[in-house]
Chains A and B, each alone.
Chain A
Amino acid sequence: MKIVVCVKQVPNTADVRIDQTTGTMIREGVESIINPDDLGGLEAALRIKDQHKAEVIALSMGPLQADGALRECLAMGADRAILVSDRAFAGADTWATSYVLAKAIEKIDPDLIIAGRQAIDGDTAQVGPQIAEHLHLPSVAYVNQIKYDKQHFIVKRMFEDGYQKVKVKTPCLITVLKEINQPRYMRVQRIYNAFREGLVEVWDNSNLKIEQENLGLKGSPTRVKKSYTKGVKTAGKVFDVNPKEAVQIIVDKLKESYIL
């Protein structure tokens, strides 16, 4: 069995702060990590490998620095690591990103593709299902349990109020939640071997040969019109009022903040 795990290197958004004087986002010193849902995906693949024979291939799209994330995947137990990287891919939205990843996966021809549900920097949850659509494969999203059973996977697909247990044929794509498992630690021995030359294969568009109109910004249906931080947090106000007025103040604030 061949399993491709899609992995994204992301800034640890938990470390991102807003500069309280300028209102801009402070990205400096924010570490890069493997997206948590993807790490769950890698662990899920490694557990399948532990029990059945499988080759686990970590696949990432990103700038050349993203090779650090792939070396971590190798240190955890992935057999191969492929970085899809080309300047022409820059600026891709989820449609164009999923298209490139789908083309790379086509070349690998796996039995199973696992992606994290969503990445913590974008939070879209779109790339996984979109890859499946480009590849015309069945997909199941929001999975927090995977069992392999003779050419099928039995998976638990989570909803807000419960779950479905479903059986899906291979080849297929599954997106997983980080709660699916507790990822293993990188193994010391594998860490010492993870930096050998040529261990991470780099594919650019000369390998994938994707038509220009579907690449990067050009291939992206959506555009960012503007982006802004919520700005500097203004000093809080304390109200000493009766309950009725208090309720009004709270409700107004909740409305203003789009919580209501």
Chain B
Amino acid sequence: MKNYKGVLVYIEQRNQVIHNVGIELLGEGKKLAEKLGVPLMACVIGYQMDDVVHKIQAYGPDLIYKVDDLFLKTYVNEPYTKALSTVINKVKPEIVLIGATSLGRDLAPRVSSRLHTGLTADCTQLDIDDDRQLLMTRPAFGGNLMATIICPNHRPQMSSVRPGVMIKPEKNNNSHSTVIEVNVLLDEKDMNVEVLEEVKEEHAKINIEEANVLISAGRGIGSKENMKYIETLANLLTGEVSGTRAVVENGWLDKERQVGQTGKTVRPDLYFACGISGAIQHVSGMEDSNLVIAINKNPSAAIFEVSDIGIVGDGSKVIPALIKELENIRK
């Protein structure tokens, strides 16, 4: 176990587009590496990765391990598992961080299984304890319970981390990393899954019951045009748009996005109610949300009774200001 040193971040990319979570994890990884006094490393796996490697240098990894192979052109579990496992076995990091995306949550478990080590899923908080162990905190039981997990006797300590939770680090164009190419022996035997087609869908089918963040509109937002602010806010917070029955009946929103007695019952991490008065028919569909923030002009609006934070004010002023601020933070 003593041989394992350093923090390794897996940089998720598909078609040479880097997923934000990889950058976020470089920021979090740096903090952990500094606490431990060890190097921060990144791992890039794919085909024609020079550009990706170049881009991530600005986010501060001391070392970048690159596996570049035609067999890795599109994501398929087995060759990627082989590539990442090979890098880990060679580098022996004490911590491996992977984004908890649809790809990462497929790749990480196979790698952990191959390496016979522990993996903690969907972490929202990471820390180092006095014994230099990684403390991995994650929600369970539909968000009702938080659990801190450790991996005492196996290395590396692997964690998948939810996208959007960790803060993206500042870009530093003067930063420089040492790039090390790792050769992984890949052949047809690793290719049991053949990708026939890859399709991008701008509007993947939504299910508001599954969303972690909902930005919800009520009649109080005033007009259909104002829905665009709601959408922008939802994008910035990686959430979905939902609304009240009134908004649906006005034709501002699809019925499948309606929350409440005649719509859906939701329990997101964040329910952001804009211009919603809080009629019981609506509240019964969202009152179990983890965090409720409400904006309403009427100081005695019923929605404030179920809100954690209530803002008395004009949504058409507060929301654009909030969007501006979030855009600044995201930059």
User: Which A residues have a C-beta under 8 Å from some C-beta of B?
Assistant: 11, 13-14, 16-18, 25, 93-95, 98, 118, 120-130, 132-134, 138-142, 154, 158-169, 172, 175, 179, 220-230, 233-234, 236-244, 246-247, 249-251, 253-254, 257-260
Contact = CB atoms under 8 A, between A and B. Distances in A.
A142 B144 contact: no
Nearest to B17: A161
B27 to A, nearest CB: 13
A161 B204 contact: yes
Contacts of A162: 198-201, 204
Nearest to A220: B118
Contacts of A159: 14, 101-103
A172 B194 CA distance: 13
Interface in B149-164: 149-154, 164
Which residue of A127, A165, A227 has the most chain B CB atoms within 10 A of its CB atom? A227
Interface of B: 14, 74-78, 81, 101-103, 105-110, 112-114, 116-122, 124-125, 135, 139-142, 144-154, 164-165, 167, 192-202, 204-205, 207, 213, 237, 267, 269-270, 288, 290-293, 295, 299, 304-314, 317-318, 321-322, 325-326, 329
Contact of A25 (B144, B193, B299): B144
A130 B140 contact: no
B311 A250 contact: yes
Contacts of B314: 243
B311 A241 contact: yes
Q: Is the interface of A mostly helix, strand, loop or mixed?
A: mixed
A142 B106 CA distance: 8
A223 B150 contact: yes
Contacts of A254: 237, 270
Given A236-B292, A246-B318, A126 B141 contact: no
Given A129-B113, A251-B329, A222 B142 contact: no
Contact of B318 (A158, A237, A247, A253): A247
Nearest to B267: A14
A240 B313 contact: yes
Contact of A93 (B118, B195, B198): B118
Nearest to B268: A259
Which residue of B117, B125, B146, B305 has the most chain A CB atoms within 10 A of its CB atom? B146
Given A121-B140, A164-B74, A244-B321, A238 B124 contact: no
